[in-house]
Structure 1
Amino acid sequence: MQDSAARPFRLLLLRHARSGWALPGQRDFDRALDDVGFAEAELIAELAADRGIRPDLILCSTAVRCRQTAEPFFRTVSENIDIRYVDELYTGPASIYTDIIDANRHLNSLMIVGHNPMIDELFHRLAGNEAAAEALPHGYPPAALAVLDVQAGIGSAITATLVSLMLPTREVK
């Protein structure tokens, strides 16, 4: 007999892939991925697809480098995937990220494509400082994808368990 307990809410945190420095006169918002970043974005999308990861919704910062990081998921994971672009993921603090998570807990899974330091701060808050430091001792690298199961809480009281961590070069857990 199958366990009838509710499945935890699955949260996927993806930091944008490597980007180039802003050119003279270019806004930070408009910085694009560099060649390494494009390769990282493709690889992390392929790793996710190979693992059967298909979020119900992808919420992505409107910054160019985040949109370029999310786009391979559309091609690799599913062309029917719902990707929405959210300005606040570029301009807001980590608390905006938790507000967005709270507003989407009715889904089975949500992917957020965003920026540091917010992604790293959110990862530490959800997984716990000890687990986060053990998994990523040098901080949250570009194109890293953390898969977390959210157990309880709302806002700053959300707690989660790290299920897996994918880096564009290898899978950690």
Structure 2
Amino acid sequence: MKTLGIWRHAKSDWNDRSARDFDRPLNARGLKGAAIMGKHIAGQPIYWERIVASPAVRVAQTIELGSQAARINPQVRWDRRIYLASSATLIDLLREQDGDPTTILMVGHNPGLEDLIFDLVPDDGSSPLRDIVEEKFPTAAFAKLEIDIASWADLEEASARLVLLTRPRDLDAELGPEPVS
């Protein structure tokens, strides 16, 4: 069995309209969300053998702040293909992981990560957590999937179980949706 963690970067800052999308940093809410979620993820009873992540600034900051809060120093494999990737690209990236680790934590962006969950977890009504992701997979959200495969090369669509979903607001109500004015 393989375990895939999916962590969306925390809330980014849109104030500097001249900044490239790739270079956008986290905003104040994102700084708090990254720390809370990083500590939560590190507190799971699992060791992430491999962390693969987009090198975009907001992803790097999410990992850095989460790691600091959890007091860990993980080794990260930065992969530009994760930035703005489709689910198909993310599946290909997982299939080609060398050394065939048992656990992988992927950190990146929507809509690719959300679509990856939709493609891997069957849409057959058996997953209440998938239904929540269909409503929204917000910034800094974390999902854990279990997949009954011996090798990542065998990864297929509709082959995973979504066993955990944590959103920042689940840990701190202040990180919930902003009120509509």
TM-score (normalised: structure 2): 0.81
8 Å contact kept, 2:121–2:157: no
Listed as ranges, the matches of 1:38-49 within 5 Å are 38-49=31-42
Matched letter for residue 159 of structure 1 = S
1:107 paired residue number: 101
Displacement, 1:128? 2.1
| Aligned counterparts of 1:34 and 1:63: Cα–Cα separation in 2 | 14
Contact 2:39-2:67 at 8 Å conserved across structures? no
Query: Given residue 113 of structure 1, which amino acid in structure 2 is its aligned partner?
Result: V
- Please list, as runs of the form range in 1=range in 2, the aligned pairs for 1:62-73 lying within 5 A after superposition: 62-73=55-66
CA change 1:27–1:126 in 2 (3 A) is: same
Alignment gaps of 5+ in structure 1: 1-7
Percent identity over the alignment is: 27
Kindly state the Cα deviation for residue 168 of structure 1 after the two structures are TM-superposed. Answer: 1.4
Partner of residue 163, structure 1: 163
Structure 2 stretches lacking a partner, 5+ long: 172-181
The CA distance in 1 between the partners of 2:54 and 2:16, in whole Å, is 20
Give the number of aligned pairs: 163
- The answer on whether the counterparts of 1:16 and 1:143 sit within 8 Å (CA) in structure 2 is yes
Partner of 2:110: 116
RMSD: 2.1
Report matched runs for 1:1-173 at 5 Å.
8-21=1-14, 23-75=16-68, 76=70, 78-79=72-73, 81-104=74-97, 106-129=100-123, 130=125, 131=127, 133-152=130-149, 154=154, 156-157=156-157, 159-170=159-170
The offset of 1:125, in angstroms, is 0.8
Q: Letter of the 1:95 partner, please give it.
A: A
Q: Quote the Cα distance in structure 1 between the aligned partners of 2:4 and 2:134.
A: 21
SS of match in other structure, 2:164: strand
Distance 1:147 1:133, change over 3 A: closer
- TM-score, length of structure 1 as denominator length: 0.84
